[in-house]
Amino acid sequence: MTKPYENWHVLPHGELAAIDEGVWTVVGHIRMPLVDLPRRMTVVRLADSRLVVWSAIALDDTEMTRLEAFGSPAFLIVPNDHHRLDAKAWKTRHPELQVIAPEGSRAKVEEVVPVDTTAPDFGDPNVTFAPVPGTRDHEAALLVHTVNGTTLVLNDLVGNIRAASGIANWLLRLAGFAGNEAQIPRVVKAALVKDADALRTQLLRWSEMDSLKRIVVSHGEPIEDTPSETLRELAASL
């Protein structure tokens, strides 16, 4: 795992893009041995224009200017203890940020940045944070409801990388982050999934939401064609 950065350290990334009303994402890349790993930050604007930042990425000046014009960063979610890379730098840039992490990852996250809460109140009933059952509270999820439907934001629980090639593609497929369809990565099953029945039940509950429009994951493309069917297939894979 890459060591968390002490200061603002910009790695290659794309442009912020809207995927729904008040929901933006941006994809960056981390260079690891033999692999260029894509990672995604998701930003949600609350009803009062404050921002919830999920799995933070340090952006260049142009994109940070756009983000800070979009709203005021108020909440920083570290969705598990593997996504701490830019947390301290974000907190330094925006000291007012309330840092959030799932309880099971709190101790590791606090090696980098103090965690304010594991049960945030965003002041907006359309945005909900929750630990993912079956992961010993090490992994978190975010539900965002808009007039267009519901976006389910997940982290490492689901991999959906499609564009990798060469040795990187082989390695990411071996780990389960890349493939022809979304999947629960093998390494995630081994490290995070401790109660498959509890996780299966949660995946099926999410699949039953009539309003579900998409699933956003930290590593790979958003799942928009058949999100409910995908959740049922993921549940069956456990």
Query: How many percent of the chain have pLDDT more than 70?
Result: 96
| pLDDT, tens digit (0-9, with 9 covering 90-100), for 158-204 | 999 876 566 767 777 877 787 889 999 999 999 999 999 999 999 99
The dihedral over CA atoms of 206, 212, 214, 218, expressed in degrees to the nearest 10, equals -30
Give me the DSSP letters along 28-55. EEEEETTEEEEEEEEEEE-TTSEEEEES
Residues 223, 24, 128, 97, CA torsion sign: positive
Q: Write down how long the chain is.
A: 238
Task: Report the interhelical angle of 196-207 vs 227-236 (nearest 10°).
Answer: 160
**221 contacts: CB under 8 Å, gap ≥ 6:** 160, 161, 162
Show the domains of the chain with their CATH numbers.
Answer: 17-236 (3.60.15.10)
Query: Given pLDDT bands bounded at 50, 70 and 90, which one contains residue 23?
Result: very high
The burial of 234, by beta-carbon neighbours within 10 Å (0-12 exposed, 13-18 middle, 19 or more buried), is given as buried
The position carrying tokens 């598990």 is 80
The string of pLDDT tens digits covering residues 48-101 is 999 999 999 999 999 999 999 999 999 999 999 999 999 999 999 999 999 999
